[in-house]
Structure 1
Amino acid sequence: MRIYRRLSARGSRWKVVAVSSALVVAVGLPIVLLGTSEANTVEPVRPDSVQPVSGALALPRIPWEGGPAYWDNFEKAQAAGWSDPNFFPIVSWFGNFSSDAEVQYDKSLGINTYSGMWEGTPYHLFADNGVFWIGGKLNDSFADDSANWVGRFLDDEVDGRFTPAQGQAHLQGIVDAIPDDGRFKYANFTQMVVSTDLDQRVAQQYVNGYTDVVSVDMYWYSIPYCDWQPYRDAYLEPVQQSNCRTASSYGKIATGLTRQDAVDGHMQPRWQWVENLNGGPSEAPPTNNINPGQLKGAVVSSIINEARGIAYFNQSLGGSCQTVNAFRQSQVTPEFCGNAQVEAVKEVNAQIHGLASVINTQSYEYSFGVELDTMLKSHDGCAYVFAMIDGSSVPGDRTFMLPSSVHGSSAAVLGEGRTLTIDSAGRFRDTFSEEYSYHVYRVKID
Structure 2
Amino acid sequence: MKKLPALALAALLAVLPGCTVGEKTTADPATGALGLELVPWEGGPEYWKQFAKADAAGWDEPEFFPIVAWYNGVSSQQEVDFDKALGINTYIGMPENFDAAWLDANGMFWIGGAINETFTEQTPSWVGYILDDEVDGRFEPAAGRKHLADIAATVPDGLFKYANFTYMVLENDLPVRDSERYVNDFTDVVSVDKYWYTIPHCSNEPYRDVSLVPIAQPECRTASSYGRTMQALRQRDAEDGKLQPLWQFVENMGGTDSEASFSGNIYPEQLRGAVMNSIIHEARGILYFNQSLAGDCRGSNVFRLAQVTAGYCGTEQVDAARVVNNQIHQLAPVLNTQSLDFQSNESIDSMLKVVDGYAYFFTMLAPGAAPGSYPMSLPDGVDGKEVEVLFEERQLRVSDGSWSDNFEHEYSYHIYKVKL
**What is the CA distance between 1:282 and its match in structure 2?**
2.6
Of 388, 391, 416, which aligns to 2:392?
416
Q: How does 1:35-114 map to 2 (within 5 A)?
A: 45-48=7-10, 52-114=29-91
Instruction: List per-residue Cα deviations over 1:280-315 (Å, max 9, x = no partner).
Output: 013333311000000000000000000000000000
Question: How far apart in 2 are the matches of 1:285 and 1:261?
Answer: 31
Question: How far apart in 1 are the matches of 2:123 and 2:36?
Answer: 42
Residues 146 and 407 (structure 1 numbering): CA distance in 2 closer, same or farther, change over 3 Å? same
Of 344, 347, 366, which aligns to 1:371?
347
1:138 is aligned to 2:100: no
Question: How far apart in 1 are the matches of 2:38 and 2:6?
Answer: 22
Match of 2:149 in 1: 172
Of 426, 435, 438, which aligns to 2:410?
435
**What is the CA distance between 1:45 and its match in structure 2?**
4.7
**What is the CA distance between 1:44 and its match in structure 2?**
10
**What is the CA distance between 1:196 and its match in structure 2?**
1.2
1:356 is aligned to 2:332: yes
Question: How far apart in 1 are the matches of 2:267 and 2:220?
Answer: 16
**What is the CA distance between 1:56 and its match in structure 2?**
2.6
Question: How far apart in 2 are the matches of 1:224 and 1:164?
Answer: 26
Question: How far apart in 1 are the matches of 2:398 and 2:342?
Answer: 18
Question: How far apart in 1 are the matches of 2:283 and 2:9?
Answer: 15
Instruction: List per-residue Cα deviations over 1:223-243 (Å, max 9, x = no partner).
Output: 100000111111111111011
Question: How far apart in 2 are the matches of 1:120 and 1:368?
Answer: 51
Segments of 5+ residues of structure 1 without an aligned counterpart are: 1-42
8 Å contact from structure 2 (residues 33, 340) kept in 1: no
Of 304, 327, 337, which aligns to 2:303?
327
* 3-state SS of 2:323 partner: helix
Q: How does 1:20-419 map to 2 (within 5 A)?
A: 45-48=7-10, 52-179=29-156, 181-419=157-395
8 Å contact from structure 2 (residues 53, 158) kept in 1: yes
Instruction: List per-residue Cα deviations over 1:135-182 (Å, max 9, x = no partner).
Output: 000101111111110000100000001111111111011112223x11
Question: How far apart in 1 are the matches of 2:173 and 2:336?
Answer: 33
Question: How far apart in 1 are the matches of 2:378 and 2:358?
Answer: 12
8 Å contact from structure 1 (residues 44, 200) kept in 2: no
Identity between Structure 1 and Structure 2 (%): 52
Q: In structure 1, give the amino acid aligned to 2:75.
A: S
Segments of 5+ residues of structure 2 without an aligned counterpart are: 14-27
Q: TM-score, normalised by structure 2?
A: 0.93
Question: How far apart in 1 are the matches of 2:299 and 2:96?
Answer: 20
Q: How many residues align?
A: 401
